[in-house]
Copies of this chain bind each other. A is one copy, B any other.
Amino acid sequence: MTADLQDFLEDIQRVETFEGFQSATEDLRDLLAISHVVYHWVNSVGERFGAGTYSSEWVDRYLEKDYLRMDPVIFGCFQRFTPVNWKQLDWSSKAAKTFFRDALDYGVGNQGYTIPIRGPNGQFALFTLNHTATDEEWDRLISRIQRDLVVVAHEFNKKALAFEAVDENQTTPTLSPRELSAITHIAKGLSRAQAAAELGISEHTLRVYIESARHKLGALNTTHAVARALSMGVIIV
């Protein structure tokens, strides 16, 4: 690891406030001499946490236009495990092209490298480096610091989680074994009757499990319960 990134890692571990977190993104940007460094996450209920060097105009624009739903970076990272170079993504759709052009207009660089990070309870965060450069220049930079970035990204996420520690009070509900089986079968598309047959219990009993799981998950209906259980990582279908 380069000495300056090593120092940066020490620094970020001492960060105590959101302002410190924000200026850490700026420090890293300056250290790497690139256009932008951004960390953000979207949690299950659509609440956001983020810091970075994008202009507030671009952030507002992004939210206003609901770009979250068409941003290839989000989609690409959501389906992968490995960091992704923006050039590798699918920018072929019209919406993606419009989005990219708009981003450039708002001062976002043409090159990007994003590391997806996943945490407990379905947390999903993105750590992005962005710059204006040729493919060659960018690839050279990335391949040089690739590995260090994984560690840096994780340090950012660790800090972010520490700030949201209040959230950890929302402990993931503990479902009983039967509740888990029941909701898993429902999530797989079985009807109540089928799921009950599968578990060898009466449909009424199954209903009790689903209802109870639903209450524990704070869900409005069965479909919502399945959605919450999935995005909280309580069940895996």
Contacts from A to B (Cβ < 8 Å): 1, 9, 42-44, 46, 68-69, 74-75, 78-82, 118-124, 147, 150-151, 154, 157-158, 161, 171-172, 177, 180, 186-191, 219-224, 226-228, 230-233, 236-237
Contacts and interface: CB of A to CB of B under 8 A. Distances in A.
Contacts of A177: 69
A186 B223 contact: yes
A78 B233 contact: yes
Contacts of A69: 177, 180
A186 B219 CA distance: 12
Contacts of A219: 189
Contact of A120 (B74, B80, B154, B233): B80
Contacts of A232: 79
Contacts of A154: 150
B118 A223 contact: no
B223 A231 contact: no
Nearest to A232: B79
A233 B122 contact: yes
A123 B230 CA distance: 12
Given A122-B230, A187-B227, A81 B161 contact: yes
Q: Nearest 6 A-B pairs (CB), nearest first?
A: A189-B224, A189-B220, A118-B118, A81-B119, A78-B233, A122-B236
A13 to B, nearest CB: 11
A191 B74 CA distance: 27
Candidate in A158, A219, A237 with the most chain B CB atoms within 10 angstroms:
A237
A3 to B, nearest CB: 13
A27 B99 CA distance: 47
Contacts of A1: 1, 147
Contact of A223 (B80, B124, B189): B189
